[in-house]
Amino acid sequence: MSERLIGVDVGGTKVSVAALRDGELTEPTLHPTEHAGADQLIEQLTVAVQDALRTHGGDAVGIGIPSVIEFSTGRVRSSVNVPLQDVALRSVMQERVDVPVLVDNDATCAALAEAHGGGAELEVANLVMLTLGTGVGGGIVIGGRIYRGSTGAAGELGHTLIGAALQDGAPAHAEHFPQPGSLERLAAGRALDELAESSATQHPESALGRLRAQGKPVAGPDCVSAAQAGDEHACAALATLGGRLGVGIANVINTFDPDVVAIGGGVSAAGELLLDPARKAAARFVLPGVGARTEIRLARSGPKAGVLGAALLAREELAGVRHPLAAGELAG
C-alpha cells in the first residue's frame, strides 16, 4: 500500500494544505492564517488537516511553520509571524488528528523539497536554501538529510553577520534582531523596499521616481518590475541587494561546500537580475578551492515548496528515519 502523507505549510498570511501520494502532490487548499491567538490557529490547523485526511486519507502529517522549533519534541521555541510561541504543537496536533505528526521550520521544509526532484525522489544530496521574503530564512540538507543542530534550531542563516560593526559591550537582546549587519537586515524584502524608496528619491526621473511622484508607495516588487522593464536605477538597486546576498552565499559555501545553494522567496522573482550580482559577489569571498562544484540557482519548487517539504517530512516519520542530531541524543 502506498504512503499517504499530508503536508501543511503555515505562513504569516496563509495556510497551505496538500496530500502527497506516489510522489504526486495534490493541488493545495489555501486558508488565510488565523492570527487571533494560539488556540484559534491550532483549531484552524486541526480542521484543515482533518478535512485533508477525510478527502485523501493519511498515514502521517508534516507541518512547517516560520518559527524556531525544538524538533525532538515539536515544541515551538520562538515565533514571530504566527501566534504559536512556546506551544507543544506536535503533541497537541497528534492528540487532535490521531496520526503521527512532525513539526519543523518552514524554510527547512522548503529546503527538503528543493533537494528532491520529480516523483519526490532525492536529487541533490547537499543543499542549502535561502528564502528571501519579509525576512531571510534558511534550510540545510546534508547527505540527503535535514541538518538541525543540537536543539533542532539550525538554519537561521538570515542572522549570519555580513557587515557588522563591532561595538564592545553592546548588548544583544532579543528585540534587537535582526541585528544591524545581518543578512536579514541587509538582503530581505524590507531591505529592497528601502533601496527602492531611496532610488525613487535620488532619481525622480526614473520609473520608481515617477511612481513616487504619483503619490503611490514604492516597494520591492515595484523595483523588480521596473528592473525587468529595463530601468537602470531599479537594476542598480537590485544589484546592491544581490551583492549583499552574495556575501551571505559566500559564508554558506565556505561553511558547507554544498552541491547547490538555492534562492527562493518573493524577492527571488527578480531572477538573474538578483542572482548575477550575487554570484559575482560570492566569487570574491569564497575561499579558493572551496565550492568548486557549487551551483547557485533559483529554487525550482515554487510556491508549493513548503507544503511539499512538510509532506516529505511526514514521510521520514513513516520510514522510521532516526534523527541522531535531535535534542537529547548523542552521536556514537
Express each pLDDT in 105-154 by its tens digit. 999 999 999 999 878 889 999 999 999 987 898 999 999 999 988 887 88
Q: Are strands 260-264 and 145-146 parallel, antiparallel or unpaired?
A: unpaired
Predicted local distance difference test score (pLDDT) of residue 174:
54
Structure confidence at residue 171 (pLDDT): 54
Instruction: Identify the burial level of 95 via C-beta atoms within 10 angstroms of its C-beta, where 0-12 means exposed, 13-18 middle and 19 or more buried.
Output: exposed
- Compute the distance between CA of residue 122 and CA of residue 114 in angstroms, rounded to an integer: 9
Answer yes or no: same fold for 4-124+303-319 and 127-300. yes
Spatial distance between the Cα atoms of 195 and 267, rounded to a whole number of angstroms? 13
pLDDT at 330: 35
Neighbours of 271 (CB within 10 A): 14
Average pLDDT, the chain: 89
Position 133 scores a pLDDT of 84
Are 18 and 37 spatial neighbours (Cβ–Cβ below 8 Å)?
Answer: no
Per-residue model confidence (pLDDT) at position 244: 96
Q: Could you count the other beta carbons within 10 Å of the beta carbon of residue 1?
A: 4
Say which CATH superfamily domain 4-124+303-319 falls into: ATPase, nucleotide binding domain (3.30.420.40)
**Cα(41)–Cα(214) distance, rounded to whole angstroms?**
39
Report the DSSP pairing between strands 14-21 and 29-32: antiparallel
pLDDT of residue 165: 61
The per-residue pLDDT for 324 is 40
Residue 209 one-letter amino acid? G
pLDDT at 328: 38
- Residue 316: predicted pLDDT: 79
C-alpha radius of gyration, the chain, whole number: 20
CATH code, 127-300 = 3.30.420.40
Please give the Cα distance from 274 to 246 (Å, whole number): 9
Domain extent listing, the chain = 4-124+303-319, 127-300
Distance CA 40, CA 307 (A): 21
pLDDT in tens, 260-289: 999 998 899 899 999 999 999 999 999 999
Enumerate residue ranges in the chain where pLDDT < 70: 1-2, 165-176, 320-332
Identify whether the C-beta of residue 107 lies closer than 8 Å to the C-beta of residue 129.
yes
| pTM confidence score | 0.84
